Amino acid sequence: MDVILFFVFAIIAVVCAINVVVQTHPISSAISLVGVMGSLAVLYLLLGAEFLAAAQVIVYAGAIMVLFVFVIMLLNAGTEKKEGKSLVVQLLGVPLLVAFLGIVAFFVQRVFPTTMVHFGGFTGGGVHEIGMALFGPYLLPFEVTSILILIAILGAIVLARKEMD
């Protein structure tokens, strides 16, 4: 049953991720990103990382996506205009994508030939382990990410103010 759930939510995550890139309207992309984050939370649950799953839903699918939608609305971003594709892209796009995915799959199989995931066997997703990692060796990247998010918010406010004047 775990394998079936894994494949269902992995497919949902991949389809929503592709939809994030393909959509022309930014709000539709943001909603698709919520779908990706929700399915990732279910995958965390399948691995036995309940705290990571809860944090994924609360922090990313909740707070960060509200921030993204707020910035999109603040910038008043409209639908992206479609332009014609070049002949090279139309003829070589799909075959090159299939070749690239085949090469990546080959190298992943060579590097990790016998790696197996045991559902529910992950023990690093608890509060203590994540707290020790975040405020130990990963304190600097954690704080840098916080500062980058703050800079992005300030940049959106500055851009919105210039448009209003």
Q: How confident is the model at residue 165, as a pLDDT? A: 54
95 lies in some domain: no
Q: What is the DSSP letter of 137?
A: T
Structural contact between residues 43 and 10, judged by C-beta atoms closer than 8 angstroms: yes
User: Is 14 inside a domain boundary?
Assistant: yes
Q: What is the pLDDT at residue 77? A: 65
Its domain, for residue 7, covers 2-81+120-164
Mean pLDDT of all residues in 88-102: 88
**Does residue 89 belong to any structural domain of this protein?**
no
**For residue range 119-145, what is the model confidence (pLDDT) as tens digits?**
766 777 778 888 888 889 999 998 999
Residue 106 lies in a domain: no
Least confidently predicted of 2-6, 39-43, 77-81? 77-81
In the structure, what pLDDT confidence band is assigned to residue 49 with cuts at 50, 70 and 90? confident
CA atoms within 13 A on the CB side of 19: 16
* Rounded-to-integer distance, Cα 130 and Cα 56, Å: 13
Residue with tokens 């992950």: 122
Distance CA 83, CA 102 (A): 29
Instruction: Identify the CATH number of the domain in which residue 27 sits.
Output: 1.20.120.1200
Mean pLDDT value across the chain: 84
Candidates 83, 64, 78, 81; CA nearest to 27 is 78
Count: domains in the chain: 1
Question: pTM for the complete prediction?
Answer: 0.66
In terms of pLDDT, which residue wins out, 30 or 87? 30
Percent pLDDT > 90 in the chain is 29
For residue 18, pLDDT over 90 is answered with: yes
Distance CA 131, CA 44 (A): 17
Residues 96-120: tens digit of each pLDDT: 989 999 999 999 888 877 766 677 6
The confidence score (pLDDT) of residue 32 equals 92
**What are phi and psi for residue 63, nearest 5 degrees?**
-70, -50
Tell me the mean pLDDT in the region 75-82.
Answer: 69
Residue type present at position 27: I
Count CB neighbours of 65 within 10 A: 16
User: Which DSSP category does 64 fall into?
Assistant: I
Q: 28: how many CB neighbours lie within 10 A of its CB?
A: 14
Residue 88, in any domain of the structure: no
Taking the CB of residue 33, how many other CB atoms lie within 10 A of it? Answer: 21
DSSP string, 53-108: HHHIIIIIIIIIHHHHHHHHHHHT--PPPP-PPPHHHHHHHHHHHHHHHHHHHHHH
